[in-house]
């Protein structure tokens, strides 16, 4: 499938998905969100792909937010539909059966910061700037930001970030736990690809179930989350990956996982 605003490249088990609207700093309009959802669905069905890296085209921006010009024209009902499309697309990233690494190569503002937060792991370039400027536009974060930011940092910090609309540099974003790593811009993709390669070499079903255990567990009380973890632990015992992983360890060789 080809898209107007999304690029997809595959390198073995690692796919790089690029939001490609650099003239408007990769702002998200309806078409881009729809295409992003289609690309995520395609990657979910692609058994060759084990890890996805999500980034923005150009050198200035990951995603500078929802497309403000597009939002200016929306009726309240259309705005509701736009917010639901964004939430659905971002949830499809969060629930994708493979890890998604956000390579934040510049501005990640509003919907862009929310998009990064829907990914599993965030790596920022030194020049990245993150924030939720919506209230400055008389809006609220509409793509899950009030909820994901609160879970990722803490309620007090999330409120400060959302109320003030302040923009944060990459070092501050790392200090508060919004991003995991900060690297020079020139090294961002190679850093993410190396991490993706390390993950791709592990048992794919085990990685998938680990993602599920963490995501599902966040919505459960601790006891239920432990039971869920134990259930998923039981599930991995039905996989050939478990046989291969354990045999490889005992035979002192590298495991070759089939993802089954
Ligand atoms: N939307 C549309 N165009 C954008 C854009 C955006 N978010 N951000 C930048 N652009 C466009 C600029 O208009 C400019 O276009 P031209 O003038 O060249 O035609 C081009 O990208 C380059 O931008 P600048 O010339 O402004 O570049 P600078 O380096 O000077 O400034 C900047 C970079 C990122 C500081 C600045 O562009 C900026 O402040 N951008 C807006 C950032 C922002 O406020 N983002 C949050 C958007 S609000 C909801 C659903 C979703 C949301 C809310 C509610 N519901 C439906 C309820 C989410 C809201 C948001 O994300």
Ordered domains of the chain (ranges, CATH) = 6-200 (3.90.226.10), 204-250 (1.10.12.10)
* SS3 letters across 155-170: HHHHHHHHHHCCEEEH
What pLDDT is stored for residue 1 in this prediction?
80
Size (the chain), residues? 260
- Which residue is associated with the tokens 């150009």? 58
- pLDDT over 90 at 142, yes or no: no
pLDDT tens, residue by residue, 34-80: 999 999 999 999 999 999 999 999 999 999 999 999 999 999 999 99
Please confirm, yes or no, whether 244 is among the known catalytic residues: no
Please confirm, yes or no, whether 134 is among the known catalytic residues: yes
pLDDT tens, residue by residue, 205-245: 999 999 999 999 999 999 999 999 999 999 999 999 999 99
Please give the residue that has the higher pLDDT: either 126 or 73: 126
Which residue's CA is minimally distant from atom 3 of ligand 1? 24
Q: What is the DSSP string of the chain?
A: ---SSEEEEEETTEEEEEE--GGGTT-B-HHHHHHHHHHHHHHHH-TT--EEEEEESSSSEEE--B-HHHHHT--HHHHHHHHHHHHHHHHHHHT-SS-EEEEE-SEEETHHHHHHHHSSEEEEETT-EEE--GGGGT----SSHHHHHHHHS-HHHHHHHHHH--EEEHHHHHHTTS-SEEE-GGGHHHHHHHHHHHHHTS-HHHHHHHHHHHHHHTTS-HHHHHHHHHHHHHHHTTSHHHHHHHHHHHTTS-------
Backbone φ and ψ for 131, nearest 5 degrees, come out as 175, 175
- pLDDT over 90 at 151, yes or no: yes
Which residue's CA is minimally distant from atom 40 of ligand 1? 64
Q: Is residue 64 lining ligand 1, measured as CB closer than 6 Å?
A: yes
What pLDDT is stored for residue 2 in this prediction?
86
What pLDDT is stored for residue 66 in this prediction?
95
Mean pLDDT for the stretch of residues 84-88: 94
Cα-Cα-Cα-Cα dihedral sign, residues 146, 147, 153, 154:
positive
Mean pLDDT of the chain: 96
Which residue's CA is minimally distant from atom 11 of ligand 1? 24
Which residue's CA is minimally distant from atom 13 of ligand 1? 24
Would you place residue 12 in the very low, low, confident or very high pLDDT band (cuts 50, 70, 90)?
Answer: very high
- Report how far residue 193's alpha carbon sits from residue 199's, in angstroms, rounded to the nearest whole number: 10
Are 84 and 47 within 8 A, CB to CB? no
Looking from the CA of residue 111, the nearest atom of ligand 1 is 61
Q: Is residue 130 lining ligand 1, measured as CB closer than 6 Å?
A: no
Spacing, Cα 65 to ligand 1 middle (Å)? 6
Considering 134, 160, 219, 244, which one is annotated as catalytic? Answer: 134
């Amino acid at each position: 499938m080809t898209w107007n605003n999304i690029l997809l490249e595959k390198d073995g088990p690692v796919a790089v998905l690029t939001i490609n609207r650099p003239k408007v700093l990769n702002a998200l309009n309806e078409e881009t969100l729809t295409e992003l959802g289609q690309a995520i669905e395609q990657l979910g069905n692609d058994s060759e792909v084990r890890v996805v890296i999500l980034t923005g085209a150009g050198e200035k921006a990951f995603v500078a937010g929802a497309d403000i010009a597009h939002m200016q024209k929306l009726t309240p009902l259309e705005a509701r539909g736009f917010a639901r499309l964004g939430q659905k697309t971002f949830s499809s990233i969060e629930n994708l059966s493979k890890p998604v690494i956000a390579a934040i190569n510049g501005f990640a503002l509003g919907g862009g910061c929310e998009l990064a937060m829907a990914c599993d792991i965030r790596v920022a370039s030194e020049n990245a700037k993150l924030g939720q400027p919506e209230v400055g536009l008389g809006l609220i974060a509409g793509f899950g930001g009030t909820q994901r930011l609160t879970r990722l940092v803490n309620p007090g910090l999330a409120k400060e970030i959302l109320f003030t609309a302040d923009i944060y540099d990459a070092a501050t974003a790392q200090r508060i736990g919004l991003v995991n790593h900060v690297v020079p811009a020139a090294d961002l993709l190679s850093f993410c690809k190396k991490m993706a390669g390390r993950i791709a070499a592990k048992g794919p079903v085990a990685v998938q179930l680990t993602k599920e255990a963490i995501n599902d567990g966040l919505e459960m009380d601790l006891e239920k989350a432990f039971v869920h973890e134990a259930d998923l632990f039981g599930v991995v015992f039905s996989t050939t990956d478990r046989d291969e992983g354990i045999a490889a360890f005992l035979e002192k060789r590298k495991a070759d996982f089939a993802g089954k």
